Amino acid sequence: MKKWFSFIFIIISIYLIFSLNYNHNYTDNQFNVIKDKIELISWIFSSLMGIISFFALFIGYSYENKLINSATLLRQIYLPFTLTLDEIRQNMMNYEKDMYGDKLIKFMYISFLIVSCLTILVWGTAVGFYTKYKFPSSIHLDIEDSINLGIYAVFLVLCILLIGVTVILNKIRFYKNPLDKGYLPTPSKLCDIDFLADENNKHIEELMFKSAPILEFYKNHLKKDPTYEINLYFPIKWKNYKFVLTLYNEDRITIFKIYGLLKDIQYIGEKYTVSLTDNCPERVYQSLDGVEGELKIYNSKQNIISRLFIIQEKHSNKYNFKTNRIIQSRDRIDLDKQLIERLEEEKVHYSIS
């Protein structure tokens, strides 16, 4: 409703036209003076409307192409099956650039709205002055009735065109999606898990799969006695992102669990690393062979939006745990939900069994 509030000024202009008194009897001299003023102001508004309309349509066309590009990027982000992680991040950054608020389209909309309201008011007053809004009362039209109907028709077409262009500019101003219903989301919403989870036309699990965090256990040889570090790396940081990552051994016994909340972002597509500890027990590091796990991703309402299988990648001095595939099944009772229910501040916790 807020998007269309400005149209109240057009309604006011139309109301003022019909609230004027057109039945006043003017002398010939008065009539000629008013007629000359109407012709002058009509000429001025005709010139002004020509200039404003040209720029409005030109700018509207340019921004329509910009919105088409943004909508195309949005579809690719929503359906990232053929995209790499770097391509997803780049599309998000390009989307933010295209959606950056531009004052030019807002200025043009306000200018066109003001001119449209004044044009409807002035020309509507002129139509009322010449015709006194006398509509034919029978199907047999005389010359005066026919001319009046022509004047009304031209004025109606003018109003429709002005309102139509205003509607188009208003939709562009609020980033109407030219390829789908509704409006394009802001870049901030595009990074919000709650928004993504509420949209039914997105494959959010695929997006979460390709941007899932990587858990790293690192053996530091730089010291006399090796130390063991644990880091959690997010290729893309999301808003309102709650997660629980569990590692278990071959006997399905949990050996490590990490959970937390990512609440805010500084910029679109940013990377984020959490250093959990640089003093991990050696026994934990030595027990990582053959370990697998799963990652559960939640929205702020603690609803699971994605469940992913975690596998191990072993290197000379570290273990990396990455997502391998999407788990389609859901547990009837999710005990891990209790870990994240009370999280309100951005923080990551972990526990070692």
pLDDT at 298: 92
**Buried b / exposed e along 52-63 (16+ C-beta atoms within 10 A):** bbeebeebbeeb
Tokens standing for residue 280? 């991990």
pLDDT at 209: 92
Mean pLDDT by 10 residues, the chain (353 residues): 74 78 68 69 68 68 78 89 92 87 75 83 79 69 71 81 83 83 87 82 83 92 80 94 92 90 90 91 88 92 91 89 86 81 88 84
pLDDT at 274: 94
Q: Are 1 and 108 in contact (CB under 8 A)?
A: no
Distance CA 249, CA 134 (A): 89
DSSP one-letter string for 109-162: HHHHHHHHHHHHHHHHHHHHHHHTT---SSS---HHHHHHHHHHHHHHHHHHHH
Q: Are 205 and 326 in contact (CB under 8 A)?
A: yes
pLDDT at 92: 92
Distance CA 72, CA 57 (A): 22
pLDDT at 201: 55
Q: What is the DSSP pairing of strand 214-220 with strand 254-262?
A: unpaired
pLDDT at 167: 85
State how far Cα 268 lies from the chain centre: 13
pLDDT at 4: 74
pLDDT at 141: 62
* Residue 37 burial (C-beta neighbours within 10 Å; 0-12, 13-18, 19+): exposed
User: Helix 143-173 and helix 28-78: axis angle, to 10°?
Assistant: 30
pLDDT at 256: 92
Tokens standing for residue 83? 């995209």
